[in-house]
Amino acid sequence: MREVAVVSFAQSRHVRREARNEVEILMPVVHEAVERSGIARPFDFTCSGSTDFLQGQPFAFVMALDAAGAWPPIAESHVEMDGAWALYEAWVKIQAGQADTALVYAFGKSSPGDLPEVLSRQLDPYVVAPLWPDAVSLAALQARAWLEKTGRSERDLAEVAARSRRSAKANPHATLAGDYEVAKLLAEPHLAAPLRRHDCPPICDGAAALVLAAGDVARRACKRPAWIRGIDHRIEPHALGARDLADSPSTRLAGVRAGVGKGGVDVAELHAPFAHQEWILREALGLGAGVDVNPSGGALSANPMMAAGLIRIGEAARRISDGAARRAVAHATSGPCLQQNLVCVLEGA
Amino acid sequence: MGDASEPKPVKTIKTPMRLEYQYTAGEATSRYLRGIAQGRILGQRCPSCKKVYVPPRGSCPRCAVATTEEVQLSDKGTVTTFAIVRVPSENISVPLPFASVHILLDGADIPFFSVVQGCPLERVRIGMRVRAEWVPREELAPTATSIRWFVPIDEPDVPFEKLEAAL
Amino acid sequence: MAERCAVVGIGQTHHTARRDDVSIAGLVREAALRALEDAALDWGDIDAVVVGKAPDMFEGVMMPELYLAEALGAAGKPLLRVHTAGSVGGSTAIVAASLIEAGIHERVLTVAFEKQSESNAMWALTVSTPLQSTVVAGAGGYFSPLIRGYMRRSGAPEDTGIRVALKDRKNALKNPYAHLREPEISFEMVANSPMLWDPIRFHETCPSSDGACAMVLSSERSAARGAHPPAWVHATAMRSEPTQFAGQEKINPRAGQECAKELYEKAGITDPRREIDVAEIYVPFSWFEPMWMENLGFAPVGEGWKMTYDGVTALDGELPVNCSGGVLSSNPIGASGMLRFAEAAMQVRGQAGEHQVEGARVALGHAYGGGSQFFSMWIVGSAKP
Amino acid sequence: MKGPITEVDGVLAAPHVLEYPYRRSVGPVLSRFFTALRERRILGVRTAAGRVLVPPAEADPDSGTAVTDDFVEVGPGGVVTTWSWVTRPREKQPLPHPFGWALIRLDGADTAMLHAVDAGDASRMRTGMRVRPRWRAETVGEIGDIACFEPEG
């Protein structure tokens, strides 16, 4: 395996509603990531992640190319997935020896639509989508399955939410941050029982970009590159009724393949948009109590669709590069109720 | 094939979709449309390559830099190429057939997509000089439809060689 | 570093305006099962799945690969979804190939599809934007002015496009999977067909199809199992440029030129016209054949039309182009690029049946998308690279 | 798009509607399912490994292997395996008043299907509860032929 590292990372401030269009949000973020890398354009490969349904307009990624710097023409690809999978595609290109450097970016503008309703268009188009179940209600089905299987309580969910938003106070990019009392959170009504509003991610607009580089190029670009020691992703069946929603076997398998258990973990950035999902993911990845989970505040503090997974990798890499962590795990998810999961292990040396 | 009165098996289902969005135009497009509402066509100049974009998108894709300098453009221009559209399209309200044209506005560096009316279709040609036909002053609004279409003007054609770069 | 990659299984559906007999899952499985059968493999032999398709609005399913996980036997496996506009079928195959070349997987199933009949292609491609006025009528409305520009610049005879259409529709008669199979097709029929987006005539336009294409790609270790010899991937390349900017060359885009240049260099090709035996290129409107002949370096700028005119691109010509009937005869948009890549591989595997070019050893697969701005290409050969 | 133009955060905004009456061909497996629904019966399909999938699918979710031709009638009653409660239903959802979403394993099925449960109040919902379908007055052969499920007895 070739040595590949994240050498720079940048993200927008994720806000409830952006006045700017995607190119306007994305361009400064891409510029920042490129400048921080110190690597001169052109990159050997560029890859992005986004989806058209958020704004209800086809080909959003085509215009986003304006922000990437695609002249002279670049070797470029796009996944209709979270940007974490764009990073995976770029990592594969580098592994194949077809690139030494790559620019990866992702963006999502969820504010124009009713996101939980828009996400219902991801569901089986014959027997589920016609019922228009919203994403929050489906996450709530999963939350109950987990609560009842483990005997945990809604307090365990509120604690994740309170801790996440407390951590987010140190994250200038977060949408939601602050001190919340668990007892007060639990006094609030359910949004979709057993989930309360605080157990759910904020809906926001945002973008992120990072630069990957191989071997010596990475060493030259960055004092302390965040080396990708393992990366893998797996999908589960789509039918919710054919899965054990209280578990995440795809995360477990990806974690094993990525080598999570080969060493101690200092920091984990888990893409858990809903509070209970953090517990499911911790368990699937075998993360013990000593692991600092979501020091950025996680997706419960900022969840720009299609970028939030890539941001987990960027946040984990940042903590490696600034010396706060020696070994970190980053995770991204896609699809209803953690259907698809990616796990990335990063190390400082 | 069995009893004719037997109901046919279900082969298709209807799954109508309706999603409502609040579209926001972004900063550059909003500035442009506010200009349109005043009967002005505003482009933006790239600080790097100095080319003028219209409608402006807030950036120059060639240089991947933000554009901020505003440039007021003429509402006259030259047809660089065109199609005569004879098939209906769900999203187009212009009656068929019509001339869908690329127009290089005077002072701009990228073609502007519009429609030419006011002359027989067979007279529409590359190099033809045209001018924007606006809706009446009191109907001007911040939407692209404030320019109804373009009409020919009595100026000599621009030679093809001068337009080739804009194709 | 790079492992060799082989195409060991190819499958496609019968393409038609409305595949009313299948679901979306059934459509992709039809292609995938044919590819598996061709490779003499089963679902369990596949390590990863790479899916491609054009805008999700065609079917109204957001990220439909999630729903297709079961149908593609992907549970417990990695699944990727690529979307690069019209070039997506090609770029999807390239992503799948790089998984093999990187040594990450032994066997990858790649599938591209479109079920356009669930909605309407013209609508899905040009969903209107508030505050803007839509004056570009679908893909035909977008590309027609570029074709007019090419005609004016090259001075090509006006019947060039008619000749391309006639050739491709005749080729389609030899392809059992083609959508448009019109035995009565003639020069007059094409010439007299109505102008849709003048200068594009009805019979010079691609259809709107339901269809899918699938390939099994394999490492060298696992390649020798199917009945047909593998097609070896000699080179792949992708290039993109922005949609519209000042000074852009839209008729002969630089992204396409540079993509081809890199492709030939990687494949060790110095004289493409002589060294490539057969090409499957993305021609949705007839005039794009001469335009791409120039862009791909097969003809000097302004002279691509001569290749059509002189019969060079005919099935029995010096460089047969689109022997399958091409996009002009079948166009399930998301799959169209992969069909080009797959048909190129079928030629060097000697698998193309009635539209086989005798002795084809090196073939080009080409796809483009967006506003002539996304390009993906591969060279496949019967010999190991 | 027609609609009022407004200012939002200093930029122009206008309503945008993405709307299409998608018409889907369902294929042979779901054709059996929907045809049965029209007759107020619920069918599952058996996989080669012997599990009964409800709703039926063309492939075994575990392996991708094609399912068998063995369609079996299941339910109509079943058990809630997990559920959530909606206090403010969206317009397009099955019921206009508060209801439960539930995964329901019908009698004779090995997988659960998603549908709405009209239980009146969240306090009447629990995992393991038995429910039965409430059929729409006029069935046409689609998932909505089951208007919702309701508590049994």
Q: Cβ–Cβ of C127/D29 closer than 8 Å?
A: no
CB A210 within 8 A of CB A313: yes
- C354 residue type, one letter: E
Q: Cβ–Cβ of C123/B145 closer than 8 Å?
A: no
- Separation of alpha carbons D62 and D100, rounded Å: 28
Residue A203 has phi, psi (to 5 degrees) of -85, 125
For residue D27, the distance in angstroms to the closest alpha carbon of chain B comes to 7
Flag whether the pTM goes above 0.95. Answer: yes
- C30 residue type, one letter: E
| B59 contacts chain C (CB < 8 A) | no
- Residue D133 predicted with pLDDT over 50: yes
Q: Cβ–Cβ of A95/C239 closer than 8 Å?
A: no
Q: Write down the residue that tokens 């120039």 correspond to.
A: C294
Q: Which residues of D28-44 are buried (b: 16+ CB within 10 A; e: fewer)?
A: ebbbbbbbbbbeeebbb
CB C329 within 8 A of CB C185: no
Q: Write down the residue that tokens 């290039």 correspond to.
A: C239
Structure tokens at D48: 């080669």
| D1 contacts chain A (CB < 8 A) | no
Residue C125 or residue A347, greater confidence = A347
Listed residue (D58, A133, A233) closest to C68, CA to CA: D58
Q: Residue D1 has what pLDDT?
A: 40
CB D33 within 8 A of CB D27: no
Number of Cβ within a 10 Å radius of residue D108: 15
Q: Tell me the domain boundaries of chain A.
A: 4-113+204-224, 115-192+227-347
Q: Which residues pair with A267 in a beta bridge?
A: A292, A328
- Separation of alpha carbons A34 and A258, rounded Å: 27
| B25 contacts chain A (CB < 8 A) | yes
Q: Write down the residue that tokens 């290089």 correspond to.
A: B104
- Separation of alpha carbons C99 and C109, rounded Å: 11
Q: Cβ–Cβ of A20/B63 closer than 8 Å?
A: no
Tell me which DSSP letter residue A198 carries: G
| A204 contacts chain D (CB < 8 A) | no
Q: Which residues pair with A102 in a beta bridge?
A: A45, A212
- Residue D147 predicted with pLDDT over 50: yes
Integer-rounded Cα Rg, in Å, for chain D is: 19
Q: Residue B92 has what pLDDT?
A: 78
- Separation of alpha carbons B42 and B56, rounded Å: 8
Measured CA distances, B17 to A117, C128, D86, D144 (Å): 11, 16, 21, 15
| Chain B residues within an 8 Å CB radius of C122 | 89-90
CB C283 within 8 A of CB C240: no
Number of Cβ within a 10 Å radius of residue C186: 13
- Separation of alpha carbons D93 and C379, rounded Å: 50
Q: Which residues of C101-132 are buried (b: 16+ CB within 10 A; e: fewer)?
A: bbebbbbbbbbbbbbbbbbbbbbbbbbbbbbb
What does the DSSP assignment read for D63-124? T-PBP-S-EEEE-SSEEEEEEEEESS--TTSS-SS-EEEEEEEETT-SS-EEEEE--SSGGG
> How would you classify the pairing of strands A205-214 and A101-109?
antiparallel
Looking at the partner chain, which of A145, A193, A239 has a beta carbon nearest the beta carbon of D57? A239
| Chain C residues within an 8 Å CB radius of D26 | 23
For residue D85, the distance in angstroms to the closest alpha carbon of chain B comes to 23
- Separation of alpha carbons C24 and C9, rounded Å: 21
Listed residue (A101, A103, A84, A108) closest to A31, CA to CA: A103
CB B52 within 8 A of CB B28: no
Q: What would the pLDDT profile of B15-26 be if each residue is shown by its tens digit?
A: 999 999 999 988
User: How many CA within 13 A on the CB side of residue C110?
Assistant: 34
CB C106 within 8 A of CB C211: no
Instruction: Give the number of beta-carbon pairs within 8 Å between B and C.
Output: 128
CATH architecture of the domain formed by A4-113+204-224 = 3-Layer(aba) Sandwich (3.40)
- Residue B6 predicted with pLDDT over 80: no
Q: What is the ipTM of this complex?
A: 0.97
For residue C22, the distance in angstroms to the closest alpha carbon of chain D comes to 4
Q: Cβ–Cβ of C62/A119 closer than 8 Å?
A: yes
Q: Residue A60 has what pLDDT?
A: 83
Return the ∠ at Cα C140 (arms to B26 and C290), rounded to 5°: 120
| B15 contacts chain A (CB < 8 A) | yes
Q: Cβ–Cβ of D26/B12 closer than 8 Å?
A: yes
For residue A68, the distance in angstroms to the closest alpha carbon of chain C comes to 9
In sequence order, what E strands does chain A have?
A: 4-11, 45-49, 76-79, 101-109, 190-193, 195-196, 205-214, 226-235, 267-269, 292-293, 327-334, 340-347
Q: Give alpha helix (H) positions in chain C.
A: 24-38, 88-101, 121-125, 138-154, 160-172, 187-191, 254-267, 272-275, 288-295, 304-309, 326-329, 333-348
Q: Tell me the domain boundaries of chain B.
A: 27-161
Looking at the partner chain, which of B97, B115, B143 has a beta carbon nearest the beta carbon of C135? B115
Q: Name the region of B50 (left: φ>0; alpha: ψ -120 to 50; beta: rest).
A: left
CB B53 within 8 A of CB B81: no
Q: What would the pLDDT profile of B50-109 be if each residue is shown by its tens digit?
A: 999 999 989 999 998 999 899 999 999 999 999 999 988 777 778 889 999 999 999 999
Sheet arrangement for strand D11-25: B12-24, D11-25, D6-8
Q: Residue A124 has what pLDDT?
A: 98
Q: What would the pLDDT profile of B99-124 be if each residue is shown by its tens digit?
A: 999 999 999 999 999 999 999 999 99
| Chain D residues within an 8 Å CB radius of B21 | 15-18
Q: What would the pLDDT profile of C183-242 be if each residue is shown by its tens digit?
A: 999 999 999 999 999 999 999 999 999 999 999 999 999 887 777 899 999 999 999 999
- Separation of alpha carbons A49 and A87, rounded Å: 9
Q: Residue B5 has what pLDDT?
A: 66
Q: Which helix (H) or strand (E) element contains residue A318? A: helix A308-321
Q: Residue B4 has what pLDDT?
A: 57
| Chain B residues within an 8 Å CB radius of C146 | 81, 167
For residue D118, the distance in angstroms to the closest alpha carbon of chain B comes to 23
Optimal mutation site among A57, A120, A123, A131, interface D, most CBs of chain D within 10 A: A131
For residue B82, the distance in angstroms to the closest alpha carbon of chain A comes to 23
Residue C38, helix vs strand vs coil:
helix
Q: Cβ–Cβ of B24/D16 closer than 8 Å?
A: no
Element counts in chain B: helices (H) and strands (E): 2, 11
Nearest residue of chain B to residue D34 (CA atoms): B10
- Burial (CB < 10 A; 0-12, 13-18, 19+), residue B154, is exposed
Q: What would the pLDDT profile of C248-301 be if each residue is shown by its tens digit?
A: 999 999 999 999 999 999 999 999 999 999 999 999 999 999 999 999 999 999
| Chain A residues within an 8 Å CB radius of C74 | 235
Q: Which structural domains are found in chain C, ordered by start? A: 5-121+208-219 (3.40.47.10)
For residue A3, the distance in angstroms to the closest alpha carbon of chain B comes to 30
- Separation of alpha carbons C120 and A108, rounded Å: 26
| B27 contacts chain A (CB < 8 A) | yes
Q: Residue C122 has what pLDDT?
A: 77
Q: What would the pLDDT profile of A161-192 be if each residue is shown by its tens digit?
A: 999 999 999 999 999 999 999 999 999 999 99
For residue B75, the distance in angstroms to the closest alpha carbon of chain D comes to 23
Looking at the partner chain, which of A80, A236, A249 has a beta carbon nearest the beta carbon of C83? A80
| Chain D residues within an 8 Å CB radius of A114 | 90
Dihedral angle at the C-alpha atoms of D141, D142, D143, D149, nearest 10 degrees?
-40
Residue C241 has phi, psi (to 5 degrees) of -140, 160
| C62 contacts chain D (CB < 8 A) | no
**In this predicted structure, which of B63-67, C12-16, C74-78 has the lowest mean pLDDT?**
B63-67
For residue A96, the distance in angstroms to the closest alpha carbon of chain D comes to 29
| Chain B residues within an 8 Å CB radius of A31 | 64
CB C80 within 8 A of CB A93: no
Q: Give the mean model confidence (pLDDT) for residues D10-37.
A: 96
**In this predicted structure, which of A81-85, A199-203, B57-61, C106-110 has the lowest mean pLDDT?**
B57-61
Listed residue (D147, D77, D146) closest to D106, CA to CA: D77
Nearest residue of chain A to residue B21 (CA atoms): A113
Q: What would the pLDDT profile of C30-46 be if each residue is shown by its tens digit?
A: 999 999 999 999 999 99
Query: Residues with Cβ < 8 Å from C250, sequence gap 6 or more?
Result: B167, C146, C149, C371, C372
For residue A69, the distance in angstroms to the closest alpha carbon of chain C comes to 8
| C155 contacts chain B (CB < 8 A) | no
Q: Cβ–Cβ of B23/A55 closer than 8 Å?
A: yes
| A80 contacts chain C (CB < 8 A) | yes
CB A150 within 8 A of CB A94: no
Q: Cβ–Cβ of D114/A128 closer than 8 Å?
A: yes
Listed residue (C328, C345, C322) closest to C12, CA to CA: C345
Q: Cβ–Cβ of A81/C237 closer than 8 Å?
A: no
- Separation of alpha carbons A94 and A45, rounded Å: 9
**Chain B (84-103) residues lying within 8 Å, Cβ to Cβ, of chain C:** 84-87, 89-92, 94, 97, 100-102
Optimal mutation site among A51, A63, A66, interface B, most CBs of chain B within 10 A: A66
Q: Residue D3 has what pLDDT?
A: 67
CATH architecture of the domain formed by A115-192+227-347 = 3-Layer(aba) Sandwich (3.40)
For residue A33, the distance in angstroms to the closest alpha carbon of chain B comes to 14
Q: Residue D150 has what pLDDT?
A: 98
Q: Write down the residue that tokens 């990437």 correspond to.
A: A68
CB C233 within 8 A of CB C384: no
Q: Cβ–Cβ of A76/C237 closer than 8 Å?
A: no
Optimal mutation site among B18, B113, B116, B117, interface C, most CBs of chain C within 10 A: B113
Optimal mutation site among C4, C22, C67, interface A, most CBs of chain A within 10 A: C67
**In this predicted structure, which of A89-93, B161-165, C153-157, D21-25 has the lowest mean pLDDT?**
B161-165
